[in-house]
């Protein structure tokens, strides 16, 4: 079984903000595979289903971004999964251009508080991740205001494509070796 988590903040005011790209991408994945977020468990919204014959739990932690690891740890413990093999996390990354994806098998938090909390809760930096670029913060912006802000109309169009790509990448990570997925999706967008 795989747990695929999309990171974000609960509440209407955060919908479709840069920081909620993980929620947007996992919603896209859920739509593709007919999975409903019909359970409240592990301090998150979740749904179960199958991707290419493999059982999955899709999870949207409702703990707010900075405590995402608490929800993910509870789900991993309940299902007795090995996060190093069977966890995939989708989230925003300000070091990538809007819509750019970067798939990784492991790594540091890179300043992302949600990932920092997941690493602390799981006790490992080794888990698959799909970083979704939201663009670099302009010099005059406060980081919190930037990530909690919305995309321009023009960037939003490109982001919809990125959510589709992130959903495809997450599905592939369930049945394909990570290196194959990385080679497919870690390409610079023109």
DSSP one-letter code for 176: S
Alpha carbon distances (Å) from 171 to 2, 41, 117, 180: 10, 22, 24, 12
Which of 183, 8, 184 is closest to 92 using CA atoms?
A: 8
150 in catalytic set: no
Given 16, 19, 112, 150, which residue is catalytic? 19
Torsion of CA 156, 186, 60, 53, to 10 degrees: 120
Which segments within 14-86 are labelled E, that is strand? 39-41, 44-51, 54-61
What's the longest Cα–Cα distance across the chain?
A: 48
Residue listed under structure tokens 């990354």: 93
Catalytic residues: 19
């Amino acid at each position: 079984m795989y747990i695929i988590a999309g990171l974000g903040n609960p509440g209407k005011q955060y919908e479709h903000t840069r920081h909620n790209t993980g929620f947007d991408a996992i919603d896209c994945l859920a739509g593709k595979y007919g999975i409903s977020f019909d359970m409240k468990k592990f301090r998150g919204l979740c749904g179960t289903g199958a991707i290419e014959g493999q059982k999955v739990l899709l999870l949207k932690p409702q703990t707010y971004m900075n405590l995402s690891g608490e929800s993910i740890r509870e789900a991993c413990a309940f299902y007795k999964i090995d996060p190093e093999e069977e966890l995939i996390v989708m989230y925003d990354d300000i070091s990538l251009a809007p819509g750019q994806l970067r798939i990784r098998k492991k790594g540091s938090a890179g300043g992302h508080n949600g990932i920092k909390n997941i690493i602390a809760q799981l006790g490992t930096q080794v888990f698959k991740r799909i970083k979704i670029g939201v663009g670099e913060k302009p010099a005059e912006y406060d980081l919190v205001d930037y990530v909690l802000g919305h995309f321009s109309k023009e960037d939003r169009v490109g982001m919809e494509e990125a959510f589709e790509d992130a959903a495809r990448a997450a599905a592939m990570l369930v049945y394909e070796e990570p290196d194959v997925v990385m080679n497919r999706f870690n390409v610079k967008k023109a």
